[in-house]
Amino acid sequence: MKFFLDSAKLDEIDYAYRTFGIDGVTTNPKHIMLSGKPFEVAIRDIAQWVKDQKLDGIDKFPVSIEVNPHLDNADDICKEAEKYAQISENFAIKIPATEFGVEAARRLEKEGIRTNLTLVFAPAQALFAAKNGSLFVSPFIGWKEDNGEDCKQYIQDIVTIYKNYGFYGKTQIICAAIRSPKQIVDCAVAGADIVTAGLAVYKSAQHHAYTTQGLETFCNAWDNTKKA
Ligand code: E4P
């Protein structure tokens, strides 16, 4: 399973890459806003960071950047996507799974611009991304589970559908809006390719009270071991 960091903040990206070895980044308008930078500055800074790490190439370290959510037709989405795709070969263009978003993603993939169909909340929506040949599809978890829905079956269904038709691995499933270690595990058990989560979630997933307790036990033992 790959771990993507859900953030546009360079310090978080750098920390997560060095600490948890993240495999990529996803952003959305909210994360760009939280970066405190204008959109193009934020994405160019991430593109430069990728270059500085010598991670050039979308297969090495994909960075999803989302088009202006106000765009309401495929032509305008394609125009904006073409502009931003030129900034970095690592960029996958995130497009909401609306009717015109699906059309735009299909057209862009035909031009060789990789896409990430996002704001997906049902298996039927995920099918469009696969039929488009999109590099990624982003079914959301947290927003549904925050409203009491259990997402295990929904992700499992997407994996099953993708395996049934040879899409699995070609359109990579990024489980998005991950809020807890449990959701990471649920997505991993279901066979999703990737999760994308904020830094706090990865910190929480890496931590366990018994690990801390065990370390204390071993430190005490070390300190009380007969010295040469
Ligand atoms: C990632 O591609 C999604 O935009 C993101 O995970 C949405 O979740 P959020 O509510 O944490 O931003």
pLDDT, tens only, 84-105: 999 999 999 999 999 999 999 9
pLDDT of residue 68: 97
Distance between CA 66 and CA 176 in Å, rounded? 14
The band of 151, judged by pLDDT with boundaries at 50, 70 and 90, is very high
Smallest CA separation from ligand 1 atom 1, residue: 176
What confidence score (pLDDT) does residue 168 get?
A: 97
Q: For 159-182, what is the mean pLDDT?
A: 98
> Could you give the number of structural domains in the chain?
1
pLDDT at residue 124, rounded to an integer:
97
Percent of the chain residues topping a pLDDT of 70: 100
- The whole-model pTM stands at 0.95
Ligand 1 pocket: which of 22, 23, 25, 30 to mutate (most atoms within 8 A of CB)? 30
State the amino acid at position 78 in one-letter form. C
pLDDT of residue 36: 98
Q: Output the residue whose Cα is nearest ligand 1's atom 6.
A: 177
Q: Which domain holds residue 175?
A: 2-224
pLDDT at 57: 97
Q: What's residue 61's pLDDT?
A: 98
Rounded mean pLDDT, 33-62: 98
**Helix 99-110 with 74-85: angle, nearest 10 deg:** 40
- Residues with catalytic annotation? 94
Nearest partner of 126 among 31, 30, 185, 190, judged by Cα: 190
Atom of ligand 1 nearest to the CA of 30: 12
CATH number of the domain that residue 204 is part of: 3.20.20.70
Contacts of 138 (CB under 8 A, 6+ apart): 26, 64, 94, 116, 117, 118, 119, 120, 174, 175, 176, 196
118 Cα nearest atom in ligand 1: 2
pLDDT digits 0-9 by tens, 106-135 = 999 999 999 999 999 999 999 999 999 999
The tokens for 18 are: 């060095």
pLDDT value at residue 212: 97
Banded pLDDT at 24 (limits 50, 70, 90) = very high
Within 6 A (CB) of ligand 1 lie 6, 26, 28, 30, 64, 118, 138, 142, 176-177, 196
